[in-house]
């Protein structure tokens, strides 16, 4: 059976075409029979539907139409259709070129996206921190200690995202004492990846609409859209108080998290932690060398490398789960999206890159479904469990359902078991 392949990358654009006129198409059916078909449509504002028929993704009302014959054959477009009057999500006219390829699918941005409406509260910090992080290329700001602090910090602070924001808060895969949970959240805020309620709501929306049009950050729109473009463009549905109440009511019930939503405390947490890095570096430099100049240099090194460069690194590592693991890799399970297991992302995220496993069983505390799919985050969860700091740890579905042999209808089935 044909596997459904990811789309080609249009790295030069944040999002694909909003409107297009597709002229004559040719289709290839499963039996290899080629038939002519003609279809012309405007995709602006069209709701895209992705569903699975006989193990194959079928797209209706999309710019990559797939035709289902009365006898059940599924026909995919082949060749390069002609695109006329195409424009991207920002309204910029784009050159005529193919939008679809054989066995590929492209999505428009979510219907609630507001073209040309930039979210400056996100765009400015993202651009600003990237620019500040360029100071790392200035030799005066470098120190080996700063480099080591940055590398260690990627894991220490990044795990507050992976373990706490993702597995504890979003999927409730385990429970930890409230004081420990809040401590993890404070560390996560030092990554400047938004407040808990916003992060959790966005991720739960992603799972509900994964790689469908309402998915806030599907890379099937475009690679850069899935990586970071979605953050800086207004979305009426996801960036609203109603959305947070609907998808993260359990988070908002916690007074501490509610306070973070109603104030700028999360911004001050990031600023204070950055100041502490500088202060510690200044004190160590002054104590070791005995000069104020050495204190300023060492403090600045820990600030640039240990805070700013580390923050940027954690951002892109987290964003790579949204983008790369929905485009590249292999699948253990046939799910209703394009999630993939990507070994490189799995290494960088210490387990989050086994994304197809996760989408198959999001409630599990472990993403390790094969012996070599190492999930260090799960090992750390087991350590917390051994210390008595983690309870209600949810094992993978295949362990929870051990002994069951019946295949449940509509349950994702491992690809290896499909003929």
* pLDDT computed for residue 309 by the predictor: 98
Identify the pLDDT of residue 70. 52
Q: Which is nearest to 53 in space by CA: 22, 75, 32, 31?
A: 75
Indicate the pTM of the whole model. Answer: 0.74
Tens digit of pLDDT for each residue in 154-184?
999 999 999 999 999 999 999 999 999 999 9
Output 96 or 285, whichever has higher pLDDT: 285
Mean confidence (pLDDT) of the chain: 79
Query: DSSP string of 155-179?
Result: HHHHHIIIIIIIIIIIS---B--HH
- Report pLDDT for 376: 97
* Helical ranges in 253-375 per DSSP H: 255-262, 265-289, 292-303, 310-323, 343-348, 355-360
Check if the beta carbon of residue 35 is closer than 8 Å to that of residue 75: yes
Q: How far apart are CA 103 and CA 9, in angstroms?
A: 14
How many residues comprise the chain? 419
Quickly state the pLDDT bin for 67 (edges 50, 70, 90): low
CA distances from 34 to 25, 71, 76, 77 (A): 11, 15, 10, 10
Q: How confident is the model at residue 68 (pLDDT cuts 50, 70, 90)?
A: low
Predicted confidence at residue 102, as pLDDT, reads 32
What's the average model confidence in pLDDT over 88-101? Answer: 34
The pLDDT, as a whole number, for residue 156 is 97
Tens-place pLDDT, residues 223-270: 999 999 999 999 988 888 889 999 999 999 999 999 999 999 999 999
Report in angstroms the alpha-carbon separations of 122 from 129, 234, 262: 11, 10, 17
pLDDT at 45: 33
Closest to 247 measured CA to CA, from 169, 188, 182: 169
Distances (CA, A) of 342 to 283, 352, 369: 42, 9, 13
Strand partners, 22: 83
CA distance 247 to 170: 10
Packed helices 292-303 and 144-159: angle between N→C axes, nearest 10 degrees: 40
Residue with tokens 């693991």: 325
**pLDDT band for position 116 (50/70/90)?**
confident
Contacts of 257-263 spanning 24+ positions with Cβ under 8 A: 257/185, 257/195, 257/196, 257/197, 258/197, 260/189, 260/195, 260/196, 260/197, 261/195, 261/197, 261/198
Tokens of 176: 């930890």
């Amino acid at each position: 059976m044909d596997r459904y392949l990811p789309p080609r990358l249009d790295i030069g654009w944040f999002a694909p075409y909003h409107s297009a006129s597709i002229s004559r198409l040719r289709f290839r059916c499963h039996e290899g029979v080629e038939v002519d078909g003609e279809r012309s449509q405007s995709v602006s504002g069209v709701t895209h539907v992705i569903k699975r028929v006989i193990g194959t993704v079928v797209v209706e009302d999309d710019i990559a139409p797939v035709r289902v014959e009365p006898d059940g054959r599924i026909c995919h477009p082949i060749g390069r259709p002609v695109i006329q009057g195409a424009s991207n999500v920002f309204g910029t006219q784009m050159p005529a070129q193919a939008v679809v390829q054989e066995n590929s699918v492209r999505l428009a941005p979510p219907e609630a996206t507001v073209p040309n409406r930039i979210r400056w509260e996100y765009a400015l910090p993202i651009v600003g921190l990237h620019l500040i992080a360029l100071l790392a290329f200035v030799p005066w700001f470098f120190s080996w200690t700063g480099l080591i602090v940055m590398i260690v910090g990627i894991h220490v602070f990044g795990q507050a995202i992976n373990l706490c924001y993702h597995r504890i808060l979003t999927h409730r895969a385990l429970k930890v004492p409230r004081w420990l949970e809040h401590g993890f959240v404070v560390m996560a805020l030092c990554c400047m990846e938004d407040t808990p309620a916003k992060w959790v709501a966005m991720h739960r929306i992603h799972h509900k609409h994964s790689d469908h049009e309402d998915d806030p950050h599907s890379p099937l729109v475009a690679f850069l859209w899935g990586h970071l473009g979605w953050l800086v463009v207004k979305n009426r549905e996801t960036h609203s108080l109603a959305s947070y109440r609907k998808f993260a009511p359990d988070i908002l019930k916690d007074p501490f998290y509610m306070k973070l939503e109603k104030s700028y405390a999360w911004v001050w947490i990031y600023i204070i932690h950055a100041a502490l890095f500088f202060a510690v570096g200044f004190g160590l430099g002054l104590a070791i060398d005995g000069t104020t100049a050495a204190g300023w240099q060492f403090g600045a090194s820990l600030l640039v490398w240990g805070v700013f460069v580390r923050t940027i690194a954690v951002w892109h590592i987290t964003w790579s789960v949204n983008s790369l693991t929905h485009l590249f890799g292999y699948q253990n399970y046939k799910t209703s999206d394009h999630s993939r297991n990507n070994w490189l992302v799995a290494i960088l995220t210490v387990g989050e890159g086994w994304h197809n496993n996760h989408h198959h069983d999001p409630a599990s505390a472990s993403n390790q479904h094969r012996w070599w799919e190492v999930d260090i985050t799960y090992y750390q969860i087991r350590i917390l469990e051994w210390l008595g700091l983690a309870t209600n740890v949810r094992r993978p579905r295949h362990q929870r359902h051990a002994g069951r042999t019946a295949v449940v209808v509509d349950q994702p089935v491992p690809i290896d078991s499909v003929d």
